[in-house]
Chains A and B, each alone.
Chain A
Amino acid sequence: MLDTQYIGHRLAPCSAEVEKGRLKFFAKAIGQTDPVYSDEAAARAAGHPTLPVPPTFLFCLEMEAPDPGALRKLLDMPVPKILHGEQRFVYHAMAYAGDTLTFEQRIADIYNKKGGLLEFVVRETRITNQRGEHVADLHGITVVRHG
């Protein structure tokens, strides 16, 4: 069973720079053909200062932490039993290539269903940029399947 004493635990904040090349690679990987996400001239023509961070890439940047498995190790969750249950983004400001984003993650809840066969970890992440502006809030649920 996951240790519920970690409810409310805050992970060390981490920061990640948004790299232009990664945004282009991400656009290719998800089949994004809208040039706003891979061509700076198209992005500027659409009124953006440079390439925008697409809606779900904020989740990816969180994995740029020195140890992206820190939460999993803290809670001792076995990789083959983990599934992503839910993911939500609440957007407050756009993020762009060249920004440095800071991620403050906390464990909002740990609970189980089916007599412990399924365990759930709820993560909340507040993202701010280099100017201290609130960019987004992420809400994710990780599921651990037993048996």
Chain B
Amino acid sequence: MADLGNLKVGDALPAFTTEPVSRLTLALYCGASGDHNPMHVDIDFAKAGGSPDVFAHGMLSMAYLGRLLTNWVDQRQLREYGVRFTAITQVGDAITCSGTVTELFEVAGERRARLVLQTVNQHGQVKLSGDAVVALG
């Protein structure tokens, strides 16, 4: 866990990059998440619906970004977490998760930090852009 005592605006969370998203990744996420939408696992269904291939669940990438948060602070300090799914994550994409502190503030006596978050693929294309609020203890 990070030492949050001297946190400053502009500080970065320790970023990481996932293994490339494979069809197995999507099959496991389908089962584990309970999201059985065939667009993510059944290429025949995806093609019949006009998509060239299956594509990753947005919520899989949101879960990756959630790991960025809970690697950094205890989950009990997480107050709010949101994302916009700005582009589709494709099979083969390796996802880099990163975040930066944008604001330090206080609510009802609790010190908090606001973070800006994103995922990008190996070409630098932004896939998710998000934000979170964490308590600083």
Contacts and interface: CB of A to CB of B under 8 A. Distances in A.
A61 B31 CA distance: 12
In the complex, the 5 A-B pairs of residues with the closest C-beta atoms, listed nearest first: A80-B49, A88-B82, A29-B32, A30-B63, A29-B28
12 contacts: A25-B32, A28-B28, A28-B32, A29-B31, A34-B71, A52-B75, A57-B33, A63-B33, A80-B39, A80-B51, A85-B85, A88-B81
Nearest to A52: B75
B3 interface: no
Given A34-B70, A54-B70, A89 B84 contact: no
Q: For the complex, would chain A's binding face be called helix, strand, loop or mixed by DSSP majority?
A: mixed
Contacts of A133: none
B82 A60 contact: no
Interface residues of B, number: 44
B122 interface: no
Contact of B34 (A30, A64, A139): A64
Interface string A32-48: 10100000000000100
A12 interface: no
Q: For the complex, would chain B's binding face be called helix, strand, loop or mixed by DSSP majority?
A: helix
B33 A86 contact: no
B60 A63 contact: no
Contacts of B25: 29
By size class, the interface of chain A is 35 or more
A31 B67 contact: yes
B84 A29 contact: no
Given A82-B37, A83-B85, A86-B83, 19 more contacts: A29-B29, A29-B31, A31-B19, A32-B67, A52-B75, A55-B69, A56-B66, A56-B81, A63-B35, A64-B34, A79-B38, A80-B39, A80-B45, A83-B58, A84-B59, A84-B85, A87-B59, A87-B82, A94-B76
Contact of B62 (A25, A32, A87, A91): A87
Contact of B58 (A29, A46, A84, A94): A84
Contacts of A82: 37
A31 B56 CA distance: 15
B48 to A, nearest CB: 8
Nearest to A22: B32
A52 B78 CA distance: 13
Contacts of A29: 25, 28-29, 31-33, 60
